[in-house]
Amino acid sequence: MACRHRSSTTTLARLAKPARLTPRLSTQPQLQSQVASAARCFSSSRPRQLKETRCQQGKFTSETYPELKRDPRYGQVTKEHVDYFKGLLGTESAVIDGVTNENATDDIEPFNSDWMRKYRGHCRLVLKPSSTEEVSKILKYCNDNKLAVVPQGGNTGLVGGSVPVFDEIVLNMGRMNNIIEFDEVSGILTVEAGAILEVVDQFLASKGYIFPLDLGAKGSCHIGGNLSTNAGGLRLLRYGSLHGTTLGIEAVLPDGTVVDDLCKLRKNNTGYDLKQLFIGSEGTIGVITKAVIQCPQRPKAQNVALFGLESYEAAQQAFREAKGHLSEILSAFELMDAGSQALVRQVTKKNSPLEGEYPFYCLIETSGSNSDHDGEKLQTFLEDVMEKGIVVDGTLAQDETQVKALWSWREGITEALGHLGGVYKYDVSIPLPEMYQLVEDTKARVEEAGLLGDTDEHPVRAVVGYGHMGDSNLHLNVSTRRFDERVEKVLEPFVYEWISKRQGSISAEHGLGLAKKKYIGYSRTPTMVGLMKQLKDLYDPNAILNPYKYI
């Protein structure tokens, strides 16, 4: 696995006055030639199929949400249907058949459940097409026979959008994983929807480019799934969202119509930009099969620093100073609270890279093309925030191992939370001045309800917050010993009402799925929701794609 590297010189370790900010990890400066050739990896998470770590099966979604009823207009999958799909796909491995084979239950289970063990469906048939033509024929057949379908990528989502609720057919895109074309001059990539993000990024690294998206689940998630949920990730601050970096899309509508809009031009104002409808639509109006992505050149100089701060106000000041000092080379500004870092220490048993413990931590990354230039800018920034008392303590990475180690304190939070039991996750956007206040107010509410404590009778272990401060994107996590209806009632709709009062978004980057479907009105007006429903009715009049979710 390729790793991040740092190409700045050792002058960064020799800060002027503030001796407190010194590298606490061993320093081994990289040679410039090594740095130039090293491939950078965005994520410190190892590639993994998250479902393999599931220690037990979750409850059926239909039991957790008894108000959901199977829509009677959908047909039941029969042996006749299975025979058709087997004939179409032509290989046994492309069809996991639990309709006629009761022994296939264990093989289907990973496609029936999400990695958090919160959602679980009753699917009995999984289809794995290998081409757009096969996807087209599958959807046309399902549409004609009123068979409900759930498109599925790497199944790493957080809102239940990629797993069935009842007996929908799962359309898994994993076999459509080819990198079709890459232009080394323009940086334009054409790729199939089932390609794994990390594999694509490693391919681009060999060409001197980078995929404009980074996720902790990059070893499992698919490009098509990233697009369908409009995934944001760690570097949206630098490269923007997929709405901006996606030049073209190929998708299949529910009736089998292939929408070929694989444009490779950055400028194309010929009519409506219809590809944008599929980005973030969570497979409800069509299935993305290919995409054209504008990829930036891979930065040659990387620096990472981790700071300890005494208040959220200080974190805001640090962010403002970072934008002023670092501007075009600032690629990430991540916020973590003390609670989230304590959970990482508890699970990993690692020592913190800072000597003390602080209420807040910030991780800053810069990415540029000139090591000396970037090093000078970073050194000036660090001296300034230390002299002003904004930052209390900090450490700088001196080589790729240290960069990876510092990032693990941010990217390891999700995995640490998963080790401790169930997690209620809220991925939201809030105006920056009030962003962390949601964590404090939620914790107070859970405490008042008597649900937070250190003993087993208390379902909640901790309420923590972290996220992409550079994008006003907060990850509110309520760590529990077990999923408990009392906890959910305390949290919802309280969290969404709180966000709505501040004109925030209830879904920053993971979509609506099943978890947030009924709360869409907290972020969208009735007019906007009505327009969305019109689009759904237009493209999917039989409502076969990803039912029971989104709107």
What CATH number is given to the structural domain containing 428? 3.30.70.2740
| Residue 456 predicted with pLDDT over 50 | yes
Q: How far apart are CA 209 and CA 295, in angstroms?
A: 7
Q: Is 432 in the same domain as 388? A: no
| Residue 57 predicted with pLDDT over 90 | no
Q: Is 466 in the same domain as 502? A: yes
Domain stops at, among 172, 207, 237: 172
| Residue 498 predicted with pLDDT over 60 | yes
Q: Is residue 185 part of a domain?
A: no
Res 56: pLDDT: 55
Give tens-digit pLDDT for 518-544.
999 999 999 999 999 999 999 999 999
Q: What is the mean pLDDT of residues 37-45?
A: 33
Q: Are 228 and 162 in contact (CB under 8 A)?
A: no
Domain stops at, among 147, 172, 197: 172
Q: What is the mean pLDDT of residues 71-96?
A: 95
Q: Is 115 in the same domain as 166? A: yes
Confidence of residue 372 (pLDDT cuts 50, 70, 90): confident
Q: Are 318 and 390 in contact (CB under 8 A)?
A: yes
The pair of three-digit structure tokens given for residue 143, joined into one six-digit string: 């549409």
Q: Is 435 in the same domain as 374? A: no
Q: Is 369 in the same domain as 430? A: no
Confidence of residue 352 (pLDDT cuts 50, 70, 90): very high
Q: Is 65 in the same domain as 168? A: yes
- Domain with residue 128: its CATH number is 3.30.43.10
Give tens-digit pLDDT for 152-179.
999 988 898 999 999 999 999 999 999 9
Q: Is residue 313 part of a domain?
A: yes
Q: Is residue 432 part of a domain?
A: yes
Q: What is the DSSP letter of 278?
A: H
* Total domains present in the chain: 3
Amino acid at 201: D
Q: Give bridge partners of residue 429 from the DSSP assignment.
A: 473, 505
Range of the domain at 134: 61-172
Q: Is 391 in the same domain as 494? A: no
The pair of three-digit structure tokens given for residue 24, joined into one six-digit string: 């606490």
| Residue 454 predicted with pLDDT over 80 | yes
Q: Is residue 447 part of a domain?
A: yes
Domain stops at, among 172, 201, 216: 172
Give tens-digit pLDDT for 220-267.
999 999 999 999 888 888 999 999 999 999 999 999 999 999 999 999
Confidence of residue 14 (pLDDT cuts 50, 70, 90): very low
Q: Is 381 in the same domain as 334? A: yes
Q: Is 323 in the same domain as 374? A: yes
Percent of the chain with pLDDT over 90: 75
Q: Is 328 in the same domain as 372? A: yes
Amino acid at 180: I
Q: Is residue 225 part of a domain?
A: no
Percent of the chain with pLDDT over 70: 90
Mean pLDDT of the chain: 88
Res 111: pLDDT: 96
Neighbours of 64 (CB within 10 A): 17
| Residue 6 predicted with pLDDT over 80 | no
Q: Is 460 in the same domain as 364? A: no
Q: Are 42 and 234 in contact (CB under 8 A)?
A: yes
Q: Is residue 46 part of a domain?
A: no
Q: Is residue 235 part of a domain?
A: no
Res 414: pLDDT: 87
Q: What is the mean pLDDT of residues 290-317?
A: 95
Res 175: pLDDT: 97
Is the preceding omega at residue 72 within 30 degrees of 0, hence cis? Answer: no
Question: What single string gives the DSSP state of each residue in 168-234?
Answer: PEEEE-TT---EEEEETTTTEEEEETT-BHHHHHHHHHHTTB--S---TTTTT-BHHHHHHTT---T
Q: Are 278 and 369 in contact (CB under 8 A)?
A: no
Q: Is 364 in the same domain as 439? A: no
Provide the CA 289 distance to its chain's centre, in angstroms: 19
| Residue 322 predicted with pLDDT over 60 | yes
Q: Is residue 266 part of a domain?
A: no
Give tens-digit pLDDT for 183-214.
999 999 999 999 999 999 999 999 999 999 99
